[in-house]
């Protein structure tokens, strides 16, 4: 299936060719995925940690309402925040979980809300591994016993051979539940330092068995998860992967390895790959301006890394991180560096900005972060936490409070985490 007219072809750069002419592609153009599903344009709401689930890790009405707002906002595709396949390995106590204990009525309502305005919706399946907070699991299962170099995280236990089988099975199970609930597909999270990402890193993956050492061994867990999920779901169900372009850490997963893993993933039938970068210890993907003295916030900060990955693939590539201007988005697509534009924070400030960008009403997405001080002058995670507070407000009240002081939003989110964790632990005891 292809949207091109007979006699036309699409080149590797993302433009359409007809004879000797070239038609430049832009964000308003539809995209047909390898499995035949059509995305109505190139704008994707990338995953953000909504952290709005209840104490049983089920979606709340606030989360459902938030996705209904986003679906009506003009984007082609919405991706949920971190959705664990194992409720003992959460990124946050407020994650909603997809497992046999999930409330299917609420999960189905979330999927329906995500599609209600014409978007498609994916559940981002993840296993937090060593990035599981200590209060939730003091000894989480990980690829090795290398502990996260941050307070609040316990020493992990290396997975056994049997546990790897269980982890793969849990991803498959959760993908099946997502399909049953009405999601259009899933995205497997192999970035930002979570379990599949840490397995790729030679700095974290210190194993000497078939799960560690050479890249093909370190990639084994991600590849086996993708292979098993692709075989278990329907052909029209989207299977995507989020992959770091680099960990940006000495001795970690690097860009050259990312290109190789992307090619491995394509061979297993994924429909697109999303590129990001960094992890909890090196939060490249979460920062706005990382150093004092920055005079300009760079847009599309993973785009240069994406170009080499895109050149190695025939499937679509999605780049997330820093896109704001329509001109930058269009240039990224027409130059062949990406096929899909992943955007997060502007959806919080204005859930309808995508439609405005697409119809020419605005030329730039909201960029609230441009008025913030550099990240290295603020408490760790302050900007990310401020935005998470705004997500919660948008879900619960219908609108964010963009005038809220940055540190106040940061502290509010820390309180929200504590409250969610306390409620989760109380529910577990009962």
Looking from the CA of 291 toward its CB, the CA atoms found within 13 Å total 4
Is residue 293 predicted with pLDDT exceeding 70? no
Average pLDDT estimate for 132-145: 97
Q: Could you tell me the domains of the chain?
A: 8-365 (3.20.20.70)
Is residue 289 predicted with pLDDT exceeding 80? no
The Cα–Cα gap between 245 and 259 comes to: 8
Tell how far CA 198 is from the center of its chain.
16
Name the pLDDT band for 278 (thresholds 50, 70, 90).
Answer: low
What count of residues does the chain have? 430
| pTM over the 0.85 mark | yes
DSSP assignment of 126-181 equals E--GGGS-TTT-SS-EESSSPPPSSTT-PPPEEPPHHHHHHHHHHHHHHHHHHHHH
Report the pLDDT value the prediction gives residue 1, as an integer from 0 to 100.
32
DSSP class of 236: T
The Cα–Cα gap between 284 and 278 comes to: 5
The Cα–Cα gap between 255 and 416 comes to: 36
> Pseudo-torsion of CA 252, 255, 259, 262, nearest 10°?
50
pLDDT digits (tens, 9 = 90+) for 256-270: 999 999 999 999 999
Average pLDDT estimate for 145-153: 93
Report the pLDDT value the prediction gives residue 372, as an integer from 0 to 100.
87
N-terminal to C-terminal alpha carbon distance within the chain: 52
The Cα–Cα gap between 307 and 288 comes to: 22
Angle of CA points 85, 256, 199, to nearest 5° = 30
Token output for 109: 């309502």
Angle of CA points 303, 305, 132, to nearest 5° = 95
Average pLDDT estimate for 83-111: 97
The continuous run of DSSP H or E covering 18 comes out as strand 16-18
Comparing 68-82, 136-150, 320-334, the range with the smallest average pLDDT is 320-334
Name the pLDDT band for 280 (thresholds 50, 70, 90).
Answer: low
The Cα–Cα gap between 80 and 91 comes to: 13
Report the pLDDT value the prediction gives residue 153, as an integer from 0 to 100.
95
Average pLDDT estimate for 343-349: 95
pLDDT digits (tens, 9 = 90+) for 401-416: 999 999 999 999 999 9
Report the percent of the chain where pLDDT is more than 90. Answer: 77
Name the pLDDT band for 378 (thresholds 50, 70, 90).
Answer: confident
Using the structure block, give the residue that is written with the tokens 């916030």. 297
Q: Are 358 and 365 in contact (CB under 8 A)?
A: no
37 dihedral zone (left: phi>0; alpha: psi -120 to 50; beta)? beta
Report the pLDDT value the prediction gives residue 369, as an integer from 0 to 100.
86
Q: Are 185 and 240 in contact (CB under 8 A)?
A: yes
Report the percent of the chain where pLDDT is more than 70. Answer: 89
The Cα–Cα gap between 125 and 229 comes to: 11
Q: Are 302 and 318 in contact (CB under 8 A)?
A: no
């Amino acid at each position: 299936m292809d949207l091109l007219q007979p006699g036309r072809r699409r080149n590797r750069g993302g433009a359409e060719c007809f004879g000797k002419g070239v038609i430049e592609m832009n964000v308003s153009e539809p995209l047909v995925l390898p499995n035949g599903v059509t995305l109505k344009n190139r704008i994707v709401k990338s995953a953000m940690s909504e952290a709005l689930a209840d104490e049983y890790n089920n979606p709340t009405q606030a989360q459902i309402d938030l996705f209904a707002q986003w679906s009506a906002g003009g984007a082609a595709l919405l991706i949920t925040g971190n959705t664990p396949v194992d409720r003992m390995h959460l990124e946050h106590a407020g994650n909603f979980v997809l497992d046999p204990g999930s409330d299917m009525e609420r999960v189905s309502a979330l999927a329906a809300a995500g599609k209600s305005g014409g978007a498609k919706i994916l559940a981002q399946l993840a296993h937090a591994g060593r990035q599981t907070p200590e209060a939730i699991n003091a000894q989480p299962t990980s690829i090795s016993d290398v502990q996260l170099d941050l307070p609040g995280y316990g020493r992990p236990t290396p997975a056994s051979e049997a546990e790897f089988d269980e982890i793969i099975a849990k991803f498959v199970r959760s993908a099946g539940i997502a399909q049953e609930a009405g999601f259009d597909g899933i995205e497997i999270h192999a970035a930002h330092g979570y379990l599949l990402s840490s397995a790729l890193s030679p700095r974290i993956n210190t194993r000497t068995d078939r799960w560690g050492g050479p890249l093909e061994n370190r990639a084994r867990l991600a590849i086996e998860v993708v292979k098993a999920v692709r075989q278990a779901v329907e052909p029209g169900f989207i299977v995507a992967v989020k992959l770091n372009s680099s960990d940006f850490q000495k001795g970690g997963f690097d860009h050259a390895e990312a290109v190789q893993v992307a090619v491995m993933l394509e061979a297993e039938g994924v429909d697109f790959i999303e590129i990001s970068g960094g992890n909890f210890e090196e939060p490249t993907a979460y920062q706005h301006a990382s150093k004092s003295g920055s005079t300009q916030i760079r847009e599309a900060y993973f785009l240069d890394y994406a170009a080499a990955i895109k050149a190695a693939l025939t499937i679509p590539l999605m780049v997330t991180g820093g896109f704001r201007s329509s001109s930058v988005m269009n240039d990224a697509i027409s130059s062949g560096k990406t096929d899909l534009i992943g955007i997060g924070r502007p959806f919080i400030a204005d859930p309808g900005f995508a439609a405005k960008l697409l119809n020419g009403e605005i030329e730039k997405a909201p960029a609230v972060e441009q008025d913030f001080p550099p990240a290295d002058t603020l408490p760790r995670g302050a900007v990310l936490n401020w935005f998470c507070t705004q997500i919660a407000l948008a879900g619960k009240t219908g609108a964010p409070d963009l005038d809220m002081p940055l540190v106040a939003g940061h502290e509010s989110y820390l309180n929200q985490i504590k409250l969610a964790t306390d409620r989760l632990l109380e529910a577990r005891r009962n």
